[in-house]
Structure 1
Amino acid sequence: MVESVAASDAARDGIDDAVAALAARPHVAVALDFDGVLAPLGSDPMAVRMVDGADAVLARIAAAPGMTLALVSGRRLPDILRLARPPRGTLLATSHGAEHSEVTGEGEDGPLAETTPAELDDDEARLLERLDDGLSTIASSASGVWVERKPYARALHTRQAAASDAEAAERAALAGPATLPGTHTITGKAVVEIAVVSVTKADGVAWVRETAARRAGVPDSEVALLFAGDDRTDEDALRALRPGDLGVKVGAGETAARLRVPDEAAVVDLLRRLLDAR
């Protein structure tokens, strides 16, 4: 059963119990998607902004003893650094968990992060070029459809297109480039992402747990994890959570999460409640 923050008193009591149980754990990692969780979705992905209070609550989590803050996003690392401006020490699993980095400080243009550059073998590099060509051809056929170039993948975005054009472009991507041998496809809200490596957000949250445990000097079994997501791409991470973890679904849709909240502002409120309970 998925309990909703906006539901009955009994459901709210269940949510309070879940938050209290998580808060009582000595080591808690808070892993959050960005779009649809901290920032509302928008037609221009580089124009979105986090909801009021999000930056403050992220800073509190990052500074709290026994807590680790992480962002697990399908976005590229530079986009997350620019839009979320995560505090020092934040773990970043970007490109759906294919890239791992940590915020190490603040530069003139925003947060700085240490990361390992993408390394593709020759076959993967050639396959990525084929994806680029195929998806670019599809994007050129309709206004509002565009291709995002990630280190390990290409993503066809259709949010700015008319509904009929978006549907046709997504269908063409799934019937064409997504069928190339060696590709791995993830579909989300108004996006078809095709990668040349097999990775999901489940891999991202696994890395977050392992890294949080290493920081704390404890086995990863002693790290409880909260993960919040809004899209189909987040369900891999939600299904990978362990007993004692807490999964949160933002908005409508089928989910493996235990809790559901209506919007980004409710995520901020839930995180405040977690902090206040520790």
Structure 2
Amino acid sequence: MTLCSSVLAILLSLTVINNCSTEENTDIMSKRVAPVISKAEEFEQKLPGFLSANKTLCVLLDYDGTLAPLCDNPANTVMDPELEKNLHLLAENPKVFMAVISGRGLKDVEGKVGIKNITYAGNHGIEIQSPDGSRQDYQLPEDVQKSYRSLVDELNKKLNKNGAWVEDKKVSLTYHYRDTASDLIEAQRKEAVEIIKRHGFSANQAHAAIEAKPPVNWNKGEAALLILKNNFGNDWKSKTSVVFAGDDTTDEDAMRALQGIGKSFRVATDPKIETYADFRLPKQELVHDLIRWLCQSSC
């Protein structure tokens, strides 16, 4: 074989390796129909050996639709008493680190969960508060803040009607239309999306609502990674076993960020839904079983 032939063969081999690597990465980071966990005993059956005594268990959780059932008015959501009890027990375990990452404002979700000495992230991770009360918020540019105020004003002026309303969370908002008559929903939803996008914000479909998020490269996934890095260092992957659970499209950012690292669970009734999560939970009550399993396994 000539020198040129040898070099060509090496280059072709490297190309094949790179292509395979790219395909593997693409596959790892792709959405798909996830396997289902439909009863309590399946957590142990489908996750044998995942929880390690030599690693800190990091439990990252969404609130609405995950820890608490969805409600017509977000102010009326409450956690099941048994789930709340087990959540407190889990948070008190010195071998467990817990964070709640919600689309709600930080103080709002902190008040709803009511557990001290855990990390809270509000507004999809834009606001982050450590157990000691210190903050590490993502600072929105001044022009984005100005656009946000204009967005809130326009939505309130034009679409705060027919049972729909604007939940102003100071840096992001949710346009709720759960109580709007079915024949009016689509027109109002479409107009809300148009207004949100015109102000430069992204419009994400939620449960009978539209989430308006600022045009910044920050989301629940970025927040989850920052929280883990801040608490366990750059080598957090070798020190922790990470669990994430959420029910909404905005939770997919965290599921994607943790894919191949931790284990995530998407609460969804749709059997055909595609997700970055490792498993689908077909009903919110299975989150109770997940927390109970984590409590028992981490003792």
Q: TM-score range by the shorter chain?
A: 0.7 to 0.9
Please state how far the C-alpha of 1:180 moved relative to its aligned partner: 2.7
Equivalent of residue 247 in structure 1, options 264, 270, 280: 264
Q: Do the aligned partners of residues 261 and 45 (structure 1) sit closer, same or farther apart at CA in structure 2, a change above 3 Å counting?
A: same
Aligned to 2:277, the other structure's residue is in SS state coil
Equivalences for residues 137-148 of structure 1 within 5 A: 137-140=157-160, 142-148=161-167
Q: Is 1:188 paired with 2:206?
A: yes
Equivalent of residue 43 in structure 1, options 50, 65, 72: 72
Distance in 1 (CA, whole Å) between partners of 2:137 and 2:294 is 35
Equivalences for residues 1-278 of structure 1 within 5 A: 2-6=34-38, 15-24=43-52, 26-86=55-115, 88-104=116-132, 113-115=133-135, 119-140=139-160, 142-181=161-200, 183-198=201-216, 199-214=218-233, 219-222=235-238, 223-253=240-270, 254=273, 255-278=275-298
The letter of the residue matching 1:122 is E
Post-superposition CA distance 1:233-258 (Å, at most 9, x none): 11111111142411111122422211
Distance in 2 (CA, whole Å) between partners of 1:203 and 1:153 is 16
Q: Do the aligned partners of residues 269 and 260 (structure 1) sit closer, same or farther apart at CA in structure 2, a change above 3 Å counting?
A: same
Distance in 2 (CA, whole Å) between partners of 1:207 and 1:177 is 28
Question: What TM-score, normalized to structure 2?
Answer: 0.78
Q: Is the 8 A contact 1:93 1:101 kept in 2?
A: yes
Q: Is the 8 A contact 2:173 2:213 kept in 1?
A: yes
Q: Is the 8 A contact 1:153 1:196 kept in 2?
A: yes
Please state how far the C-alpha of 1:30 moved relative to its aligned partner: 0.4
Q: Is the 8 A contact 1:30 1:70 kept in 2?
A: yes
Please state how far the C-alpha of 1:65 moved relative to its aligned partner: 2.7
Aligned to 2:227, the other structure's residue is in SS state helix
Unaligned runs of 5+ in 2: 1-32
Which structure's CA Rg is the greater one? 2
Unaligned runs of 5+ in 1: 105-112
Q: Is the 8 A contact 1:23 1:275 kept in 2?
A: no
Q: Is the 8 A contact 1:170 1:192 kept in 2?
A: yes
Q: Is the 8 A contact 1:4 1:12 kept in 2?
A: no
The letter of the residue matching 1:99 is E
Between structures 1 and 2, the one with greater strand share: 1
The letter of the residue matching 1:164 is D
Which has the higher mean CA deviation after the structures are superposed, 188-197 or 33-42?
188-197
Q: Percent identity?
A: 26
Question: What TM-score, normalized to structure 1?
Answer: 0.84
Distance in 2 (CA, whole Å) between partners of 1:4 and 1:242 is 16
Distance in 2 (CA, whole Å) between partners of 1:92 and 1:20 is 29
Q: Do the aligned partners of residues 177 and 256 (structure 1) sit closer, same or farther apart at CA in structure 2, a change above 3 Å counting?
A: closer
Please state how far the C-alpha of 1:166 moved relative to its aligned partner: 2.7
Partner of 1:108: none
Q: Is the 8 A contact 1:156 1:192 kept in 2?
A: yes
Aligned to 2:130, the other structure's residue is in SS state strand
Cα RMSD after superposing both structures:
2.3
Distance in 2 (CA, whole Å) between partners of 1:276 and 1:151 is 39
Distance in 2 (CA, whole Å) between partners of 1:150 and 1:193 is 11
Distance in 1 (CA, whole Å) between partners of 2:214 and 2:248 is 21
The letter of the residue matching 2:185 is A
Q: Do the aligned partners of residues 99 and 18 (structure 1) sit closer, same or farther apart at CA in structure 2, a change above 3 Å counting?
A: farther
Q: Is the 8 A contact 1:2 1:258 kept in 2?
A: yes
